[in-house]
Amino acid sequence: MSEKTGRVKVSIYDTTLRDGTQAEGVSLSVYDKVRIAERLDVLGVSYIEGGWPGSNPKDMAFFEDIKGKKLKNARIAAFGSTRRASVKVEADENIRKLLEACTPVVTIFGKSWLLHVHDVLKIKPDLNIEIVSDSCQYIKAHGKEVIFDAEHFFDGFKDSPEYALDVLRAACKNGASTIVLCDTNGGMLPSEISKICQKVKSVLPEEVILGIHCHNDGELAVANSIAAVDSGARHVQGTINGFGERCGNANLCSIIPSLELKMKMSSIDRNQLKHLKEVSLFVDDLANINPNKRLPYVGDSSFAHKGGMHVNAVSKNPATFEHIKPELVGNKRRVLVSDLSGRSNILMKIAEHNINIDEKGDEIKEILQTLKQMENEGYEFESADASFHLLAKKILKSHVPFFKLNGYRVIIEKRGKDEPCFTEATVKLEVLGQQELTAAEGDGPVNALDLALRKALMRFFPGIKDVHLTDFKVRILDSKDGTAAKTRVLIESSDGNETWGTVGVSENIIEASWEALVDSVEYILYKKTKQKKTRKT
């Protein structure tokens, strides 16, 4: 039990820095790993697995750097394998590196499936148990907390229950204080996990903690982890955002709130739960991975409502379509507008944008009708909140444009077979009663237009220098029309503090891009002007 909360305590063992970096496309520098470790410590996890010191210099460098950091909640663990069959434990290079990492915790994995003993290690079963015993005993004798990961345990148990249990007994007898059952291939079902965990719990010494480590190959890693906790596990391993090899590991961003909010167990610093989404985005950012908006609890879509009937119900009572309050995990409710929208979608979206409107007037109906007509023409406002904001203000006749377009021109020139394309855009605007003509070169027509537009406005609105495009998507809407098809362009922009989306549609990709660019610039100019007025008052 947790002394502070009186709840059952479940230790969270984060392996993002080791198992998570085995995911395709994920790579972290030593500095990145230290920053993530510090953030995980603030979150309140019990263990942070820093890496495998015997496998690469980067992981050993992490252990050197983290020594100088004062962590409040987490214990750092070094990870590695049991000794090799051909050498004594004291002469094993991997074991020596584990001890040189100077961590308070050492996690070692060993074989618990006879298939691996015979086909991978190619040794006798008794020798494998001797290897597990030697390794745990030697590391324990050096004053370390020993966690034993029983690799492929569930497959091994189904193949030969007694042998798999004998491996666990050897680890316990020789100093392992936590036994972690690993679904290494990720193919188990929750019912199997529950049954086997209950059996293991019944034979383990009372003082030994039962742990679980699940992979997500059957998309059940979170469910399997929760099933294990239900069956007595009090140590859960996983990664932030479910990073990991193949299909990933159990996602701690789903496990932690499930333990805290649904199972009423204590797993992290409860005051930090509201920062869970922030941690999720922080790890994505350092890993240079686009956030998965559909992640449970922390994804942008977790509490996004689109269907008119759903939005109507949520506006009356959020519990009708939300399993928790989004604020508990640092998320927020979002209302999407589309051709599926109803009056409630528009009202909630208007309120979200702080636009004044008569809820009983005809403007709501006009906005809804215009929206549905434009979506039918190919516009999409789900990811284009800024364009919706401007559309609503135009219909409400409260939009004052910051500039007027008098014309633009884009020149694309190929000066030789092996030469890159040259692109130049010229923009002619009327800004605050003055004519402005500017030109800019870019990597392509849209980049050149973007640079020329912002260059023309810079003299009048200096704050626009911070604005830049962060994403650009093109969708052909009527592929049967070939090169004459209507095109939808979605642009994501940022000024370093805020990110917003805009949309443009046309048979001409340049015109569609210009429309989205103009919305992007007008939206941020409106926001900055409003902020300036607010500060003055």
CA dihedral sign, ordered 145, 149, 154, 156:
negative
Beginning with the edge strand found earlier in the chain, give each strand of the sheet holding 404-414 in spatial order: 404-414, 421-431, 434-442
Going by C-alpha positions, the residue among 3, 536, 28, 531 that lies closest to residue 266 is: 3
User: Is residue 389 a part of any domain in this protein?
Assistant: no
Do 107 and 179 belong to one domain?
yes
Q: Comparing C-alpha atoms, which of 181, 186, 176 is closest to residue 199? A: 181
CA angle centred on 412, ends 406 and 413, rounded to 5°: 140
What pLDDT digit, counting tens, does each position of 28-85 carry?
A: 999 999 999 999 999 999 999 999 997 888 899 999 999 989 999 999 999 999 999 9
Backbone φ and ψ of 460, nearest 5° = -95, -35
As a whole number of angstroms, the distance between CA 153 and CA 114 comes to 10
Quick check: is 180 in a domain? yes
Residues 281, 319: one domain?
no
Q: Could you give the percent of the chain with pLDDT greater than 70?
A: 95
Q: Strand 304-305 to strand 334-335: parallel, antiparallel, or no bridges (unpaired)? A: parallel
Give the domain CATH number at 127.
3.20.20.70
CATH number of the domain bearing residue 452: 3.30.160.270
- Quote the percentage of the chain above a pLDDT of 90: 68
Tell me whether residue 295 is in a domain. Answer: no
Same domain, yes or no: 16 and 146: yes
Burial 89-122 (b: 16+ CB within 10 A, else e): beebebbebbbebebebbbbbbbbbbebbeeebe
The model's confidence at residue 534, banded by pLDDT at 50, 70 and 90, is low
Q: What is the pLDDT of residues 318-336, one digit of tens each?
A: 899 999 999 999 999 887 7
Strand, coil or helix: 106: strand
Is residue 505 classed exposed, middle or buried when 0-12, 13-18 and 19+ CB atoms within 10 A define those classes?
buried
* Res 2: pLDDT: 62
348 with 480, same domain: the answer is no
User: Which of 287, 312, 344 is the last residue before a domain boundary?
Assistant: 287
Structure tokens at 235: 């140590």
475 and 443 inside one domain: yes
Q: Are residues 366 and 410 in the same domain?
A: no
The answer as to whether 179 is a domain residue is yes
Would you say residue 30 lies in a domain?
Answer: yes
**Same domain for 278 and 325?**
no
527 in any annotated domain: yes
Together in a domain, 356 and 411: no
449 within domain boundaries = yes
pLDDT on residue 482 = 58
Domain that holds residue 332: 304-373
Quick one: 230 and 367 in the same domain?
no
Which of 352, 373, 394 is the endpoint of a domain?
Answer: 373
Q: Which ranges of 174-220 does DSSP label H, i.e. alpha helix?
A: 190-203
Same domain, 438 and 520: yes
> Quick one: 321 and 279 in the same domain?
no
* CA 280, 283, 285, 290 torsion-angle sign: negative
Among 373, 394, 429, the domain boundary falls at 373
Specify the number of domains making up the chain. Answer: 3
Task: Indicate if the alpha-carbon torsion angle 48, 51, 52, 54 is positive or negative.
Answer: negative
178 in any annotated domain: yes
Task: Report yes or no: 460 and 473 within 8 Å, Cβ to Cβ.
Answer: no
CA distance 450 to 204: 65
Confidence of residue 343 (pLDDT cuts 50, 70, 90): low
Q: Between 184 and 316, whose confidence is greater?
A: 184
187 and 253, same structural domain? yes
4 pLDDT higher than 80: no
